[in-house]
Chains A and B, each alone.
Chain A
């Protein structure tokens, strides 16, 4: 696979092809695929329907039958020669709440991911508008790479209502949403400009020296940062916060070459695209582990992907160890450092005259699935000047690319309504979440400024 040689430029060629729908040449999905058989996963199902009661899509979309049918039931009914997958699988937003709900370990999202991949491969018209649109959305990282080359121009163009209408009409991308703005400078550019890993090593040593009084080498305190597309292209401030916070705790940060985690590709059944990206990521991250690093992500969907979806769907060398060594940023510090103690001793200032800053915190579904739902609020409770309130355990409704689809926009906003209500009832007008697309939805629904917990930590802990 030649395009993996240089991950930084990997998918540009294909993306250019996708810009003009007429010229789009579909690439065969699953060129050498082995169909995955997930029927044995139905062994764990007791039919209790707990998954259905947790499905945010089934709650508002009458055409969607819910995860029990989409997953274990549909799989169990399958014979080898049966290829028809109910088309409702494309309505699953891949929020993975069913995984989190199932009291019995049915591999629901793996079933949905695989069924969706199979549906896209066997039953979806590769020339259809829906396929082209999904392909573009799924490859956001590649799109962003292009856009961020000329961020101001792109931001201007994508913000143009004519272009938005064009997207909606031609591609089925809703014009209700504003495209996320590209940063003037990507995280990676900043990172290189700052001096890369050598500079990080120095800073980490300084921090250790300051704390422990000794300028010691430490192979233990090394992390590889998986920034994902969004922190790189759109919100480099989150990436910078991650680097500074970890350096403050004495960690040397590495930033290995990387591609999209695959989350949007899974959600759109583009398993082949995801596999190509995953192969690069696993190789690069496994190499970082060889160098003594643990993997840290700031986006909870990225960490979800590395931890759960890779081992469920792929079998590259190193997949399991990457999964076992990947952490969400706050989780990592909490387990390995006395983060709570550090926060006890710190404080932040409220906006203007306010004594404290209030955050309406939303736990992304993918954070919930990793057991991280209560973490940010618990931690910020320790921090003087910060007051974080959980806005409930509903789904934000955007689920990555889902809420961008014209036909899913209303559903997405219906799902999000509960969260918007709860946000409105929280004092203050700042939202907080780990997931960039949840952040888009939170901002879209309330107009609040949305921050990442790492940014708050940076404010509190980094001088």
Chain B
């Protein structure tokens, strides 16, 4: 009777899918299910795999100060900010992280194993595995960001590459102002000349056409109208039309960067065609939501999971759980229009995300983990949850469940809450992924650790 698996992973983002993949590969023949409510936040993320970009902040500034101290902000916080110099090797800094950091729990080896699993699962889609060093990838905000793995589509854009670059923006793609980004990159001293130009995407798309619409047009190589140099209109395949539009602006640039919209399903082909037409390398600058690199990554992880036999159930929220007499979790309850449907398993992984992914919830009174009511440490005064500086050392950025040495969430008394529940990814507290640039790395390392450990437990 009912739905039963060996390992049930709650949450379908990068951590959840990594956990499921690790569990499925580890426990051959076992049943692994990913249970998720809605789409994950992968489509909001850049698609870059950050592991550790900056050394942790000095511990002294971690205490919350609150807004009560008037309107002054900025100066103090700015002084307390961590060093702004990016880490060239993320692994070097792991031993310096605080004990509660997820990386300290899984160890450097755990981080490397997570990356290895990722590299294997994503294959050609990602680069960066050839070295331990971080890469500096240009962002759509005009900065460079240290990251450990980057989509193949961003590979030609690395800031440590000294080839001159042309950045191409489009009038209606409002998150990427190419001339401004180019000016910014030059101001941080990149070892190449950057030019930026804003063009009209060929084809007469509406002003509110989405990134995905352009990507679809390039995927399908739709025929679009383009006004040629002499003022006449010609109809060309979209890739060729785009290349023709860019050609006049190429100058001495050996590579051309676009906002990340170069195809959803066939990005390699789109890029190859553009490179052939332009005679220059082509790269994407990762973008915020909706993120095409994030969507491609999601597709790759889903495919790898399916390949490994992972099953997916989506559409309804997990709202509670059942335990057996020994205090083990027996089932997760899924709410469906007033009915509760139990999903049974032997081992469970909680990978429901953080504040954005809704794995952590809050109200005026406090912060909690809504499914298992795991302990989430947070200041009792909500005015201590944040700093007065927008990029200050916010307590909220660290909200998440506390875990033991095996990633098992702690209960109110500090013991592990359930013997067969582990947590992975952004639902874990103790790290500020945005400030230290460690989001995907933590998800991979802890997802793999949790999935693999769960599968081992099933087997034993």
Contact = CB atoms under 8 A, between A and B. Distances in A.
**Do A's and B's CB atoms come within 8 Å in the complex?**
yes
Interface stretch (B65-73, B179-187, B201-209): B201-209
A62 B213 contact: yes
A372 B315 contact: yes
Q: What bracket does the count of chain A residues touching chain B fall in?
A: 35 or more
Interface stretch (B34-42, B230-238, B244-252): B34-42
A54 interface: yes
Contacts of A375: 313
B221 interface: no
Contacts of A43: none
Contacts of A373: 312-315
A53 B338 contact: no
B295 interface: yes
Given A50-B43, A69-B208, A102-B38, A371 B316 contact: yes
Given A66-B210, A371-B314, A371-B316, A103 B339 contact: no
Nearest to A327: B339
B38 A103 contact: yes
Contacts of B311: 374, 378
B133 interface: no
Contacts of A59: 212-213, 216
Nearest to B312: A374
Q: What bracket does the count of chain B residues touching chain A fall in?
A: 35 or more
B209 A62 contact: yes
A62 B38 contact: no
A50 B3 CA distance: 29
Contacts of A49: 43, 210, 289-290
A66 B41 CA distance: 19
Contacts of A338: 1
B314 A335 contact: no
Contacts of A102: 38-39
A46 B357 CA distance: 11
Given A324-B338, A324-B339, A373-B312, A334 B38 contact: no
Given A101-B38, A311-B337, A52 B212 contact: yes
A202 to B, nearest CB: 25
Interface in B275-301: 289-290, 295
A310 B39 CA distance: 24
A370 B43 contact: no
A449 B208 CA distance: 40
A250 to B, nearest CB: 13
Contacts of A58: 210, 212-213
B217 to A, nearest CB: 10
B165 interface: no
A53 B314 contact: no
8 contacts: A49-B43, A59-B212, A63-B206, A103-B38, A103-B356, A104-B38, A338-B1, A375-B313
Please list the 9 inter-chain residue pairs (A to B) with the smallest Cβ-Cβ separation, ordered nearest first.
A324-B338, A371-B315, A371-B316, A49-B290, A323-B337, A307-B337, A53-B290, A101-B39, A48-B289
Interface of B: 1-3, 38-41, 43-44, 205-206, 208-210, 212-213, 216, 289-290, 295, 311-316, 334, 336-339, 341, 356-358
